[in-house]
Amino acid sequence: MSILRFEELVELARAFQVSRTLLTAIELDIFSAVGRGATAPEVAARLNTDFRATEMLLNALVALGALRKRDGTFRNTAATARYLSEGSPDNQRLALMHAVNLWDAWSELTDCVKSGRPRNLQTRRRSREQTAAFIAAMHSNAASRAPALVRAVGAAKVKRMLDVGGGSGAYSIAFAQANPALEAVVFDRAEVLPIAEQHIRAAGLAGRIRTQQGDLRKDDLGEGYDLLLLSAICHMLSPEENRDLLRRSFRALAPGGRVVIRDFLLSSDKTRPERGALFSLNMLVNTEGGASYSRDEYRQWLHAAGFHPIRYIAMADPGSGIMLGTKPRN
């Protein structure tokens, strides 16, 4: 890892300006308003925003390479037209609204470092729109990663699978598509399950994937599963909560069953990879006790819960990996 020069430190300190410019454009849906081409007054009229301020934002987006401008008319780039404009089949604006929603929490980072915990976390309840944005962001990530995880873990011998905190159901869908004999349960909160059910129906798998309402922090997880998936779950929990979850996971598995943890896996000194270390701060400002954890910590927790053998599987996705524990047959 290279040491930053002063000029690079200054650039890093100001990086929030670039991020906030794009986040505001996403929040206002600027790229849909630009459409196939529009002037600043036309965009301001479509969005009911101030003309002067809108023009300044549009010019900044051109400077950043997110828009193009010619003779006073602004146009989307190929990327913003595809991923951030209404009407595109690949529109990811809803998923990126999750990043917009994180802004306020990250603005409290200084206070979190002083006190050790976020302020007023109990009163921070996601609205229906924020929940939809969060699950959309998770679905976008999961849908792209699921095929690689299925290949790494294997689905051929799995008959019953429990997807704990399964969100949109993207991983359950991928496992069910890989094995026509596999049945899965997506276990999550009540407000999330209707979104999962939409994705399951769209995949034509309503007959083999069902949903179950529950609280992964305390509820019994059932029994007799061949595979129990914890994807992007453990970072939300404290070490003690993870130890408890893995004990309940062990009980839920049939002998020979496997628990699969997919998450950021930090180095022993917790400084690498960069994305994982930064994501730990994201958990600091958004949870009571969550963090990114090291491979060593997961191995200790799995061992204490009774899993053996325990295996690490590297993934191509930067920063993430898999810890796999097997419940002994005897």
Q: Token match 């963090």: residue?
A: 291
For residue 85, the enclosing domain spans 6-91
Residue 1 has what pLDDT? 61
CA angle 77, 81, 84 (to 5 degrees): 115
The CATH number that applies at residue 163 is 3.40.50.150
Contact at 8 Å (CB) between 167 and 139?
A: yes
In a domain, 105, yes or no: no
288 and 192 inside one domain: yes
Q: What is the helix (H) or strand (E) element at residue 113, kind and residue range?
A: helix 109-115
Residue 125 has what pLDDT? 75
82 and 129 inside one domain: no
**Catalytic positions:** 235
CA–CA gap between residue 210 and residue 205 (Å, rounded): 9
In degrees and rounded to multiples of 5, residue 328 shows phi and psi of: -55, 150
How confident is the model over 173-216, as pLDDT tens digits? 999 999 999 999 999 999 999 999 999 999 999 999 999 999 99
The CATH number that applies at residue 28 is 1.10.10.10
Beta strand extents in the chain (DSSP E only): 38-39, 67-70, 73-76, 160-164, 183-188, 209-213, 225-231, 253-266, 293-294, 310-314, 320-326
Q: What is the helix (H) or strand (E) element at residue 154, kind and residue range?
A: none
Whole-model pTM?
0.93
48 and 145 inside one domain: no
Query: What is the CA 129 to chain-centroid distance, rounded?
Result: 16
Residues of the chain with pLDDT under 70: 1
91, 108, 139 - which closes a domain: 91
How confident is the model over 133-163, as pLDDT tens digits? 999 999 998 999 999 999 999 999 999 999 9
The count of structural domains within the chain is 2
Strands 73-76 and 38-39, bridge-based pairing: antiparallel
Peptide bond into 273 cis (omega under 30): yes
In a domain, 238, yes or no: yes
**Sequential DSSP letters for 243-283:** HHHHHHHHHHEEEEEEEEEEEEEE-TTS--SHHHHHHHHHH
Residue 328 has what pLDDT? 98
